[in-house]
Amino acid sequence: MDTAWLADLQALAETLNFSRAAERRHVTQPAFGRRIRALEEWCGAQLVDRSTHRLKLTAEGEIMLAAASEITDRLDRARRQVEQARAATSAVTFAATHALSFIFFPHWVQSLGQVAATTPMRLLSDSMNECERIMAEGRAQFLLCHYHELSRIRLDEQSYRSLDLSTDRLVPVSAVAPGDGRPLHSLPGTLRKPVPHLAFAETSGMGRILASSLERKMVDLHLATVFTSHLAMALKGLAMEGKGVAWIPESLAAEEIRQGRLALAGAAEWAVDVKIVLIRPRARMADLAEAFWSLAQAGHPAE
């Protein structure tokens, strides 16, 4: 039996139309029909009821459809496991939030010395939600992210351990007003004149951190969200254009603040202290990943 026939049956069950199913499977309708008949011959039973205007699967077809789903799911899992096993022995894979991928990650790896710098690596940069999913699915050995105690990471704490690498702050920044060097927009704003807010999306780890850490202070803040993104770089760029106030990692804004292209948009009470952490599974990893973990521990001994 050709396993492609199983995907054909799934497409037909979803569309209940030979023409649309054939289009989805990128074959001609006659060829698609022949493949469905070939599957029926292999099963020794009619899988599709063609006697009515609207197609439907027979009882035997429903049984075969359930089996097809199980088989294709198992094959997909096996393929991912093979890819993970190959990647684990050939390179160390990191899932990292966008904000830490640009500046922190390359400098941090360099700080660990020559052995770390020459270790084969893959960097998967994405939103915090997606990074958590990548870790949970075993597609990366390490997760690099910001952490705040009031905003828990969505991974099973019993299955993972972490290493503190550095500290950072999420600070509100704004473009600089022409002439006086003060922020163009500043906190906390008023009911009549709320501050335009360049906000992190819900899928952003920093958005979750800000929501939890500033929750009690929100009554004193008057914000009007004008833009949302999970990319700190996008928020920084719009803040520099004068579009509003954005909370971004101080490490990502330090150079622009020093150059006078950005200004802190509020007092210290509006900043949020965070950690930069490296997370790994508690279970033993491939030798290459374990060797890198030892390098990271040596470079950041526990206090």
State the DSSP string of 157-212.
GGGEEEEEEEEEEEEEEEPBPTTT-SBSS-SS--SSSPEEEEEEPTTSHHHHHHHH
47 three-class SS: coil
207-215 — which CB contacts under 8 Å span 24+ positions?
Answer: 208/128, 208/151, 209/146, 209/148, 209/150, 209/151, 209/170, 209/272, 209/274, 210/170, 210/247, 210/272, 211/151, 212/148, 212/150, 212/151, 213/148, 213/150, 213/151, 213/272, 214/270, 214/272
Other residues' Cβ atoms within 10 Å of the Cβ of residue 199 = 20
Top-tier CATH class for 87-166+276-299: alpha beta
The helix (run of H) or strand (run of E) holding residue 115 is helix 114-117
pLDDT digit of tens for each residue in the chain (303 aa)?
Answer: 788 889 999 999 999 999 999 998 988 999 999 999 999 999 999 999 988 778 899 999 999 999 988 888 888 887 777 766 666 557 899 999 998 998 899 999 999 999 888 889 999 999 899 999 999 988 899 999 999 998 888 898 899 999 999 999 999 999 999 877 899 999 998 989 999 999 998 778 888 999 888 887 877 889 999 999 988 999 999 999 999 999 999 988 999 999 999 999 988 999 999 999 999 999 998 889 999 999 999 987 664
Residues of the chain with CATH 3.40.190.10: 87-166+276-299, 168-274
**Cβ 196 vs Cβ 287: under 8 Å:** no
Q: Which fold, 168-274? A: D-Maltodextrin-Binding Protein; domain 2 (3.40.190)
Element (DSSP H or E) covering residue 135 = helix 128-136
Strand partners, 248: 171
Q: May I ask the CATH class of domain 4-86?
A: mainly alpha
The model carries a pTM of 0.67
Phi, psi for residue 111 in degrees, rounded to 5: -70, -20
Strand partners, 247: 172
Domain with CATH 1.10.10.10 in the chain: 4-86
